[in-house]
């Protein structure tokens, strides 16, 4: 069975005597199960020499999940008021895994925050808050944070024909579920923008080397379940991972 390495996130204890836990959202794991893969959720940690390889040796692919913001110091900025939830150990852990996965030609699917980590890892930077950055003329329709339990809003995504993403999705137009306030600004080295929203928000990037894709929307989100392209994306990722390193 194809094994996918999934960095989990540390959750603090909220009761006396309770220990911190490591978690990965069930929706992310569910799309992997539907694709026939098994997840390997790992806790963030300091990776010394060979540490990233030690983890990647046990897996066939790497999937990065959504979550809070990346430390702006990683792209040379101070945090803005809207920046939240930074866990530098998490950032460093995921970036180290990404570098080695790309070097090993291991398939990677990076979702939402994961795509932003991919961009920063490759030397790019981010709009820390799209609404307050002044770059976009308006706050994109898909960006308001939903209330707990509410479905994420859907945004139309236009995909470049002929790219790996279009082949994986089986389409060049779809609606993606969003819940984020940051976005790719300067694109990292080796990355190409392969999808955008109508307001210019970068919706997907892919690396020139191997099957390494990042998407800003949430293909695992139930609000997008009416579009089978989202599951096809994960199915293709798992298929590439199962085919071994270097699958085109």
Answer yes or no: 230 catalytic: no
HSE, CB side, 13 Å, CA atoms: give it for residue 122: 26
Answer yes or no: 180 catalytic: no
* Residue 146 in this model has a pLDDT that exceeds 50: no
Domain tally for the chain?
1
* pLDDT tens-place string over residues 174-192: 998 887 889 999 999 999 9
Residue 248 is assigned to a structural domain of this protein? no
Strands 126-127 vs 183-184: parallel, antiparallel or unpaired:
antiparallel
**pTM of the entire structure?**
0.90
* Residue 12 in this model has a pLDDT that exceeds 90: no
For range 36-51, the mean pLDDT: 95
* Residue 240 in this model has a pLDDT that exceeds 70: yes
Name the active-site residue from 39, 112, 181, 207: 112
Residue 84 is assigned to a structural domain of this protein? yes
The answer to whether 59 and 53 have CB atoms below 8 angstroms apart is no
SS3 109: strand
Answer yes or no: 78 catalytic: no
Name the active-site residue from 39, 203, 206, 220: 220
Task: State which residues form the domain around 81.
Answer: 2-10+21-243
Q: Specify the pLDDT at position 231.
A: 95
Residue 175 is assigned to a structural domain of this protein? yes
For range 151-161, the mean pLDDT: 86
pLDDT-derived band at 246, boundaries 50, 70, 90 = very low
Name the active-site residue from 178, 180, 207, 218: 218
Domain harbouring 212, CATH code: 3.40.50.880
Using alpha carbons only, give the angle 49, 53, 55 rounded to the nearest 5 degrees.
115
Residue 16 is assigned to a structural domain of this protein? no
- Least confident window among 87-96, 128-137, 158-167, 193-202: 128-137
- Least confident window among 17-31, 49-63, 112-126: 17-31
* Residue 140 in this model has a pLDDT that exceeds 50: no
For range 124-143, the mean pLDDT: 64
Mean residue pLDDT of the chain comes to 89
Residue 15 is assigned to a structural domain of this protein? no
d(CA 59, CA 52): 11
């Amino acid at each position: 069975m194809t094994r996918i390495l999934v960095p989990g996130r540390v959750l603090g204890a909220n009761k006396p005597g309770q220990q911190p836990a490591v978690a990965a959202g069930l929706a992310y794991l569910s799309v992997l199960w539907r694709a026939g893969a098994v997840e390997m959720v790992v806790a963030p940690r300091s990776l010394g020499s060979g540490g990233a390889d030690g983890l990647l040796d046990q897996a066939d692919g790497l999937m990065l999940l959504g979550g809070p913001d990346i430390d702006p110091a990683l792209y040379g900025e101070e945090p803005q008021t809207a920046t939240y939830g930074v866990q530098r150990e998490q950032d460093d852990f995921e970036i180290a895994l990404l570098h080695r996965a790309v070097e090993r030609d291991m398939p990677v699917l990076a979702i939402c925050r994961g795509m932003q980590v991919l961009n920063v890892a490759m030397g790019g930077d981010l709009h820390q808050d799209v609404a307050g950055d002044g770059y976009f003329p308006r706050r994109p329709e898909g960006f308001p944070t939903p209330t707990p339990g509410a479905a994420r809003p859907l945004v139309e995504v236009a995909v470049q024909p002929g790219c790996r993403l279009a082949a994986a999705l089986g389409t060049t137009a779809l609606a993606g579920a969003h819940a984020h306030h940051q976005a790719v600004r300067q694109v990292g080295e080796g990355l190409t923008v392969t999808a955008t929203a109508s307001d210019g928000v970068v919706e997907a990037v892919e690396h020139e080397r191997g099957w390494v894709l990042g998407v800003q929307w949430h293909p695992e989100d139930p609000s997008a379940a009416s579009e089978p392209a989202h599951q096809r994306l994960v199915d293709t990722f798992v298929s590439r991972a199962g085919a071994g390193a270097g699958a085109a």
